Amino acid sequence: MLRGGLGAAVFVRTVHTALTWAVTLVLFLHDTDLWSRDDGSKVLQPLCFLFFVLCSMALYFAVSLMDPGYVMSDCDEKVTQCLTPLLLSHFNPSADPSPVRSRRCGYCLFKQPMRARHCKSCQHCVRRYDHHCPWIENCVGEKNHPLFILYLCVQLMALLWALRLGWSGFHFAETWTEWLHVNVFLLLAFVLSCIFTVVVSLLLVCHLYLISCNVTTWEFMSHHRIAYLKHYESDANPFDKGIIRNIWSFFCTFGTVAWERIYFRESYATV
């Protein structure tokens, strides 16, 4: 299964790289606005566009190859095991900790921290698991989620620029056959850019909304099945600290977060 997963990852990343550079090459070879300037800064715009493409590629490989937050041992669970009964007894002595007791993963056999989930594709439990992204062939979790958002932003800017350049390169012809003959490769590049622009835009908007609520994609989709959430109403979230603090914590928190502290504080602060 590991070999199959590695082969799929190599294939997906190769396709992504090939499509990216194919679209870029078409835009450079056609008479687009990349070469519209006649002064000394003629090469400035092509270099800037190439820089955006290189940045998006670098971020893509960084997100797809980095550790998303794998749970590798039970060592960090000792804190959680001690923390749970102490917090429960402090906030609510009669509370039953069983609904949110940490569980041992049936696949990798490690105890899962709160908000972690096992990914069958990666064969690991991932901290603050959001989803497994087939386009990067990696999970999006606690360690690479902010970088994933940055990648989406840079990718979207590059795609929007590619759309404008592609549109500027179309040339009129007397017949549709002649027009298609002249613009066929540019048309394919433009259509691909349109498709990916729509997909990336939707992904970015959805993720920014969930980040502002401090909810992961997995929690949003499976709220009723998650032990630490199913006794809450569908619109309630024990990790929500307000939009500003949620966004700040997401982008400016480094290292591992003990979500149990936030969960129990929010759960029992009103008792």
Catalytic residues: 133
Partners of 34 in the beta sheet?
none
Tokens found for residue 198 = 């729509």
Q: What's the CA gap between 224 and 215, in Å, rounded?
A: 14
Cα–Cα distance between 138 and 121 in angstroms, integer?
8
- Do β-strands 124-126 and 117-119 pair in parallel, antiparallel, or remain unpaired? antiparallel
Q: What is the 3-state secondary structure (H, E, C) of 119-187?
A: ECCCCEEECCCCEEECCCCEEECCCCHHHHHHHHHHHHHHHHHHHHHHHHHCCCCCCHHHHHHHHHHHH
Q: How large is the C-alpha radius of gyration of the chain?
A: 24
Strands 131-133, 138-140: pairing kind: antiparallel
